[in-house]
């Protein structure tokens, strides 16, 4: 009796294993087909948008990966103030070029003219990078706000992105990305919040939030 139960259990396990293998073979075939089809090499425009936390962090992760592969990278930070930036502390030491708008959040400055001038200064640095074919990848951190607030003309941004070197990758981060930029992008990821410690009264902390 026991032998029959063992045989039955073994047969059930074997059947499950066979079914699992068959499913995974189908998955592999589908993935292999997509890999075989994706043979284009080009500079990719990636947009990380949405109201959730982690957009800039994701952008900096891609910059770090590129540098790890010996690529030349640059970062333009819009909105950010003069407080410490852990990513900048590391990446500048390995040759990543940084341009920081430096005025902080618009609700702190409350000075549209000052913010516009600062935004244009940072954008002019970005335009120069977007013409430089020695730069493999650029992070335009929080650029979306500059377009939303009309500090930088949308058409000027689109023109620079369209005319950049063909193999240059660009990452744009920030909430409420303009539809025209989303349409131009090759890849768009939207980060949505489920919970955020700040809403529960937890302050932004160095080494974790910035």
pLDDT digits (tens, 9 = 90+) for 58-69: 999 999 999 999
pLDDT band at 109 (very low <50, low <70, confident <90, very high): low
8 A C-beta contact, residue 140 and residue 170? yes
Residue 120's alpha-carbon distances to 34, 60, 87, 106, 113, in angstroms, are 41, 22, 23, 14, 11
CA distance 72 to 87: 16
pLDDT per position as a tens digit, 151-204? 999 999 999 999 999 999 999 999 999 999 999 999 999 999 999 888 889 888
pLDDT at res. 31: 78
Bridge partner list, 172: 47, 140
Q: What is the CATH number of domain 45-200?
A: 3.40.50.300
8 A C-beta contact, residue 135 and residue 170? no
pLDDT at res. 32: 78
- Ramachandran area for residue 95 (φ above 0: left; ψ -120 to 50: alpha; else beta): left
The whole model's pTM is what?
Answer: 0.84
Helices (H), ranges, the chain = 2-37, 55-68, 86-91, 106-109, 112-129, 143-148, 154-162, 179-184
More confident residue, 75 or 117: 75
Q: Answer whether residue 2 shows pLDDT above 60.
A: no
Q: Answer whether residue 15 shows pLDDT above 60.
A: yes
More confident residue, 107 or 179: 179
pLDDT at res. 168: 98
8 A C-beta contact, residue 151 and residue 106? no
pLDDT at res. 135: 98
pLDDT at res. 8: 60
């Amino acid at each position: 009796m026991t032998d029959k139960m063992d045989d039955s259990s073994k047969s059930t396990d074997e059947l499950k294993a066979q079914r699992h293998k068959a499913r995974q073979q189908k998955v592999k075939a589908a993935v292999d087909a997509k890999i075989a089809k994706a043979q284009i090499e080009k500079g990719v425009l990636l947009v990380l948008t949405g109201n959730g936390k982690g957009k800039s962090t994701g952008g900096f992760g891609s910059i770090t990966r590129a540098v790890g592969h010996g690529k030349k990278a640059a970062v333009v930070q819009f909105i950010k103030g003069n407080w410490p930036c852990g990513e900048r502390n590391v990446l500048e030491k390995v040759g990543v070029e940084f341009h920081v708008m430096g005025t902080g959040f618009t609700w702190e400055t409350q000075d549209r003219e000052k913010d516009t001038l600062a935004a244009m200064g940072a954008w002019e640095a970005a335009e120069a990078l977007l013409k430089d074919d020695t730069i493999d990848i650029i992070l335009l951190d929080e650029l979306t706000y500059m377009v939303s607030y009309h500090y930088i003309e949308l058409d000027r941004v689109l023109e620079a992105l369209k005319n950049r070197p063909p193999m240059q990758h660009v990452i744009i981060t920030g909430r409420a990305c303009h539809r025209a930029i989303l349409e131009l992008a090759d890849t768009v990821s939207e980060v949505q919040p489920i919970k955020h410690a700040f809403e529960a009264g937890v302050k932004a902390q160095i080494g974790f939030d910035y």
